[in-house]
Chain A
Amino acid sequence: MSERAPLLVLKGVSRHFGGLVALSNFSVALEQGEIAGLIGPNGAGKTTVFNVVTGVYAPTAGEIHLAGRRIDGLSPVAVNRAGIARTFQNIRLFGGMSVLDNVLVGFNQSAEHGLLGALVRSPRAVRESRMFDVAAMDLLDTFGLADQAAQVARNLPYGAQRRLEIARALATRPKMLLLDEPAAGMNPQEKAELMELIRFVRERFRVGVWIIEHDMKVIMSICQRITVLDHGEIIAEGTPAEVQADPRVIEAYLGEPV
Chain B
Amino acid sequence: MQEFFQQLINGLSYGAIYALIAVGYTMVYGVLRLINFAHGDVYMIGAMAALYAAGGVYGLSSLPWSPGAGLLLNPAIWLGAFALVAGLLRMAGRPQGRWLRSVLTVLAVLTAAAAASEVLTRAVRAAGLPSWPGAVLVLLTAMVNCAALGYVIERVAYRPLRNQARITALITAIGVSMFLEFGGQAVFGASPQAFPQLIPGLEEHPELCRIGGVVIGRVDAMIVAVTLAMMSGLWWIVMRTRTGMALRAVSFRFDTAALMGIDVNRIIAFTFVLGSALAAVAGVLVAVRSPKVDPLMGLMPGIKAFVAAVLGGIGNVPGAVLGGLVLGVTEVMVAGYFPQGSQYRDGVAFVILIGVLLLKPSGLLGQNVVEKV
Q: For the complex, give the distance between the alpha carbons of A47 and B373 in Å.
A: 9
Residues from chain B with Cβ under 8 Å of A56 in the complex: 373
What is the 8 Å Cβ interface bit string for chain A, positions 44-56, against chain B (1 contact, 0 not)?
0001000100001
Which residues from 216 to 240 on chain A have a C-beta closer than 8 Å to any C-beta of chain B? Answer: none
**Is A94 positioned at the interface, with any CB of B under 8 Å from its CB?**
no
> What is the distance, in angstroms, from A91's C-beta to the closest C-beta of chain B?
13
Residues from chain A with Cβ under 8 Å of B373 in the complex: 47, 51, 56, 88
Q: For the complex, give the distance between the alpha carbons of A131 and B370 in Å.
A: 39
> What is the distance, in angstroms, from A214's C-beta to the closest C-beta of chain B?
18
> What is the distance, in angstroms, from A20's C-beta to the closest C-beta of chain B?
13
Residues from chain B with Cβ under 8 Å of A88 in the complex: 373
What is the 8 Å Cβ interface bit string for chain A, positions 35-79, against chain B (1 contact, 0 not)?
000000000000100010000100000000000000000000000
4 A-B residue pairs with Cβ-Cβ distance under 8 Å, sorted by A, are A47-B373, A51-B373, A56-B373, A88-B373
What is the 8 Å Cβ interface bit string for chain B, positions 141-158, against chain A (1 contact, 0 not)?
000000000000000000
Smallest CB-CB A-B distances: 4 pairs: A56-B373, A51-B373, A88-B373, A47-B373
Which residues from 348 to 373 on chain B have a C-beta closer than 8 Å to any C-beta of chain A? Answer: 373
Q: For the complex, give the distance between the alpha carbons of A51 and B373 in Å.
A: 8
Residues from chain B with Cβ under 8 Å of A47 in the complex: 373
Chain B contact residues, CB within 8 Å of chain A: 373
Q: For the complex, give the distance between the alpha carbons of A232 and B373 in Å.
A: 17
> What is the distance, in angstroms, from A249's C-beta to the closest C-beta of chain B?
27
> What is the distance, in angstroms, from A99's C-beta to the closest C-beta of chain B?
23
> What is the distance, in angstroms, from A45's C-beta to the closest C-beta of chain B?
13
Q: For the complex, give the distance between the alpha carbons of A56 and B372 in Å.
A: 10
Closest chain B residue, CB of each to CB of A180:
B373
Residues from chain B with Cβ under 8 Å of A51 in the complex: 373
> What is the distance, in angstroms, from B212's C-beta to the closest C-beta of chain A?
47
Q: For the complex, give the distance between the alpha carbons of A88 and B373 in Å.
A: 8
Q: For the complex, give the distance between the alpha carbons of A47 and B372 in Å.
A: 11
Closest chain A residue, CB of each to CB of B373:
A56
Q: For the complex, give the distance between the alpha carbons of A56 and B373 in Å.
A: 8
Closest chain B residue, CB of each to CB of A76:
B373
> What is the distance, in angstroms, from B55's C-beta to the closest C-beta of chain A?
57
Q: For the complex, give the distance between the alpha carbons of A41 and B192 in Å.
A: 69
Q: For the complex, give the distance between the alpha carbons of A207 and B373 in Å.
A: 24
> What is the distance, in angstroms, from B29's C-beta to the closest C-beta of chain A?
26
Closest chain B residue, CB of each to CB of A56:
B373
Closest chain A residue, CB of each to CB of B370:
A17
Q: For the complex, give the distance between the alpha carbons of A51 and B370 in Å.
A: 14
Closest chain B residue, CB of each to CB of A92:
B373
> What is the distance, in angstroms, from A84's C-beta to the closest C-beta of chain B?
15
> What is the distance, in angstroms, from A17's C-beta to the closest C-beta of chain B?
10
> What is the distance, in angstroms, from B310's C-beta to the closest C-beta of chain A?
26
> What is the distance, in angstroms, from B3's C-beta to the closest C-beta of chain A?
44
> What is the distance, in angstroms, from A2's C-beta to the closest C-beta of chain B?
31
Which residues from 171 to 204 on chain A have a C-beta closer than 8 Å to any C-beta of chain B? Answer: none
Q: For the complex, give the distance between the alpha carbons of A146 and B373 in Å.
A: 29
> What is the distance, in angstroms, from B372's C-beta to the closest C-beta of chain A?
9
> What is the distance, in angstroms, from A235's C-beta to the closest C-beta of chain B?
24
Which residues from 78 to 120 on chain A have a C-beta closer than 8 Å to any C-beta of chain B? Answer: 88
> What is the distance, in angstroms, from B225's C-beta to the closest C-beta of chain A?
43
Q: For the complex, give the distance between the alpha carbons of A144 and B283 in Å.
A: 64
